Amino acid sequence: MSIQLSIAQLFSDVHGVDAGFEFAPVADVFSRKQYGDYGSPYYKKDQFGRDYYLPATVTFAGGGIVLPDGAVTSGLNVIWDLPFAVVAIDNTKTIIKTGMTEREGAVNQVVNINSYNINIKGLLIGKGNEYPEDLEKMLRDVFVSGSAMALRNVKTDIYLNGMGYNVIVESINIPAHPGVQHVVGYDLRLTSNSIFDLEEIG
């Protein structure tokens, strides 16, 4: 018995927003742009063998962990494409506002640009009709990693290329989704991580 899945519909059901997934027609495969300006691919294959748009890949220290399908190792690092990921970015500036004595308005001094906040929502889909336990274990390993990790994605590369693509996972949320036993939604919140030599800054 075959099971027909609409990934975009599942994403909308779990997270309450449209996924924005794009599946390219076969005729466009050889004419479309393959890589972003900083080297990340525009397309990869999902676990069902279909092209999906703007994959998000994390590389983190994970020697000795059990890898699910689709994850690979490079030395002591694990490289994993976050399943069916959709990425959003936001940021703010730190601005000191000084009021003018007996005048309207203020003098605004830009102190810095704060760390980038990155939100990644996606789906873990188990094989057959089984709970995706191996994928959720890998997601936990991403979260509990005690050091900065690399995040590569065409969208995030634009903002993180000057920081070595380093991020830290701040929080994880696995929302309830009753009635679908082989699909689990996830919501990761990450922040960019700048590494400086403090002597050089001083």
Quick check: is 2 in a domain?
Answer: no
What is the pTM for the complete model shown? 0.78
> What confidence score (pLDDT) does residue 16 get?
61
What is the rounded average pLDDT of the residues 79-107? 89
Quick check: is 1 in a domain?
Answer: no
Specify the number of domains making up the chain.
Answer: 1
Residue 48: closest CA among 153, 127, 123, 121: 127
**Residues of the domain holding 185:** 7-201
What is the rounded average pLDDT of the residues 113-129? 91
What is the rounded average pLDDT of the residues 66-71? 70
Percent of the chain with pLDDT over 90: 41
What's the CATH number where 27 sits? 2.40.30.200
Model confidence at 48: pLDDT above 50 = yes
Q: What is the dihedral of CA 142, 189, 129, 54, to 10 degrees?
A: -90
Quick check: is 156 in a domain?
Answer: yes
Model confidence at 159: pLDDT above 60 = yes
Contact 118, 167 (CB under 8 A): yes
Q: How far is residue 199's CA from residue 182's CA, in Å, rounded to a whole number? A: 51
Tallying the residues shown for the chain, one arrives at 202
Query: Could you read off the pLDDT of 167-185 as tens digits, one per residue?
Result: 999 999 998 876 788 889 9
> What confidence score (pLDDT) does residue 106 get?
84
What is the rounded average pLDDT of the residues 127-149? 89
Considering only residues 3 and 35, tell me which one the structure prediction assigns the higher pLDDT: 35
